[in-house]
Chain A
Amino acid sequence: MSEILATNRPLPAKPASGHASGDKRFKILEVHIKKLQFKQDALIEVLHKAQELFGYLEDDVLLFVSHHLKLPPSRVYGVATFYHFFTLKPQGEHTCVVCMGTACYVKGADKVVAAIEKFAKIKSGETTANNKLSLLTARCIGACGIAPAVTYDGQVAAKQSPEDALAKVKSWMEA
């Protein structure tokens, strides 16, 4: 139903190509959408690409996706907020993702999180005021054999103690 409504409704005039701001990343996103043949069921793939390009999904990006896939903005927003992987807030310069899967948890991942929270004075899911560090927790990154695992800027590190994690985070904060 929503698709029918969306396709019949006159769409707001969109720029012929790219985005009004002239930001090149929109152009790249558009090419990607074209490659996926403007398929509406590729929404999640498109959002993945958008987040990869922009780092997070701001309103403008969501609207751009909505126009190009001819989907109502509510549907795009709904999907973007449903899945944990998508973030609508900008991330800090560095991200530290502590795996909180069961194996990591029983081996003390909660202590790693607590140590970083105490040091950086943020809660999991937040970014420090100086925008240097975002602390996140993951459900399970599937690296249970090397628990507890922590991902620093996309690099998985094995068997992390609270001290290891603090050393890494401190080096970022002081840089």
Chain B
Amino acid sequence: MQIEDLNAIAEKHIGSRKKIIVRTCMSAGCMSSRADAIKKNLETAVKEQGLDAEVEVRRVGCMGFCGQGPLVGIDGVKEKEILFEHIKPEDANAIIASLKGVESNLEIGDPDHPFFAKQTKIVRANGGIIDPEKIEDYIAIGGYEALHNALTEMQPAQVVEEVTKSGLRGRGGAGFPTGLKWGTVAKSPGAKKYIICNGDEGDPGAFMDRSVLESDPHLVLEGMAIAAYAVGADQGFLYVRAEYPLAISRLQIAIKQAKALGLLGAGIFETPFNFNVDIRIGAGAFVCGEETALMMSVEGKRGTPRPRPPFPAESGLFGCPTLINNVESFANITAIIKKGGDWYASIGTEKSKGTKVFALTGKINNTGLIEVPMGIPLRQIVEEMGGGAPDGRKIKSVQTGGPSGGCIPAEFLDTPVDFESLAKLGSIMGSGGMVVMDDTTNMVEIAKFYMEFCKDESCGKCIPCRAGTAQMENLLNKIIARQATQRDLAKLEELCDMVKNTSLCGLGQTAPNPVLSTLKYFRNEYEELLQPDKFGPAATATK
């Protein structure tokens, strides 16, 4: 494979395209509403109505607007795409007939809706456009060109420098500078190095990585290959949750296709660079999102974390230097190599560069995936793009960062969304889950929900996390049952502090965050549930 071959594939594929493209969203959300039947019916309808020559029905990945799904988009008829929403399989004939100008009463979405208009797409640029199961589709939009450029025109150190210049920070939650991490792995001595892509998206309420893997698997593979070249690795592992079967099958197809074309394997683009990727399937353990636990799991062991240092960059998988990045981090790489680090750094804020994909869910009118530049005010996301809370309710808070994050109350909606601002409010950026809660939500119940989650998911290796989360859950249950007093609340706060400061890994260290942030902003909801203390100062005063 050389660049000429790549271009030939792209040209041939573009040449074979038809005038009108009917894109059917075949991502997990829409699939649950029988998107496969929709696609089949659309194909039959095209044949029956004799439009074979000009209409192509294409399977695509997530279009983003999951709450309005199943979605069907049509290109090539009007200047802008036509977007059909809430489609049922029996609507297929009407959709195809509409191409010939027949009026239908199907629900048509507005492509200029703020939900779409306010997005800046880098990671999700191809989501909903290309067929994730066809490598030709990816090559036709310039796929694997960045890998070619990196391999033939750049030294590994230059690649690292470009990523450093971009200011990209890890999208898994902690926001560690990606360039710095790559540089450390590149400098670590060792003949064997590994790349791991962390697709163990465990935060409940987050599905960005699933959508990227399902919609654009080659983008992640290409990002991993560039990373491998930069740090000197020849083997990659893609760790994906078992809960995402569609993502796994599309990745398997993608790897097979890339290998067949020589874009993975030995001597890529006729250079001495070799790179192989294997998929590792998770088995349902939240703690495996933590990097040292994830490596244990890749090695086929119980996913328990270990103390750092040594950091994975020095001694990771099988004791070798290992680079671990999140799916979304890898998905940013091709754009950075193609357009340059400076271009990437021009998007976002001073300390948080680029864009971030969020999964906007919960009590909000427009649910789905959005990719926005860093620093966008939270209010724009929930009110303009999300359309506010349904049924005329008021938004009470926005939860970010899952069980490691916190609840941001409505009065702080003008906060810009970046790593530092969210941390200042006692929450975190996290992997990108954004769950909106309205005024009917009980915040103590939410805190308990997360604590129960952390208790179940604690691996049991260190005691503060194992015992602390259980005790905190007991105290929260006691408060909810209206059996607790001020003393219990004080005990809860004390435990939060202890678990936060003494746990081994991120799971325990952040487990108290939902409690701490709800206590900070919604303390009255806790206090309303408390009982007078029989032995406390209040009781003695009345005697």
Contact = CB atoms under 8 A, between A and B. Distances in A.
Interface residues of A, number: 40
A88 interface: no
Given A48-B242, A158-B33, A83 B285 contact: yes
B29 A106 contact: no
Interface string A103-141: 111110000000000000000000000000000001111
Contacts, number: 143
B448 to A, nearest CB: 11
B301 A79 contact: yes
Nearest to B66: A145
A58 interface: no
A42 B278 CA distance: 11
Contact of B367 (A85, A86, A147): A147
A100 B441 CA distance: 16
Interface string B289-310: 0000000011111110000000
Contact of A156 (B31, B211, B283): B31
Contact of A149 (B32, B280, B457): B32
B343 interface: no
Contact of B29 (A48, A85, A158): A158
B367 A144 contact: yes
Interface stretch (B228-236, B328-336, B357-365): B357-365
Contact of B32 (A47, A86, A146): A146
B435 interface: yes
A155 interface: yes
Interface in A45-102: 45, 47-48, 75, 78-79, 82-86, 100-102
Contact of A102 (B210, B299, B300, B362): B362
A75 B61 CA distance: 39
Contacts of A142: 28, 201, 206-207, 210-211, 241, 243-244
A161 interface: no
Contacts of A79: 300-302
B243 A147 contact: no
Given A44-B283, A45-B281, A144 B33 contact: no
B285 A48 contact: no
Contacts of A48: 242, 281, 283
B453 interface: yes
B284 A83 contact: yes
A26 B157 CA distance: 49
Nearest to B368: A145
A48 B29 CA distance: 24
Contacts of A43: 300-301
Nearest to A82: B302
The 6 closest A-B pairs by CB, nearest first: A145-B66, A101-B204, A83-B283, A103-B361, A84-B284, A156-B32
Interface of A: 39-45, 47-48, 75, 78-79, 82-86, 100-107, 138-147, 149, 155-158
5 contacts: A84-B284, A85-B284, A144-B207, A144-B367, A145-B367
Interface of B: 28-29, 31-33, 66-67, 69, 201-207, 210-211, 241-244, 280-286, 297-303, 359, 361-363, 367-369, 399, 402, 433, 435, 437, 441, 446, 449-450, 453, 457, 459
Given A82-B459, A103-B359, 12 more contacts: A44-B281, A48-B281, A79-B300, A86-B283, A102-B435, A139-B202, A142-B206, A143-B207, A145-B29, A145-B369, A146-B32, A146-B66
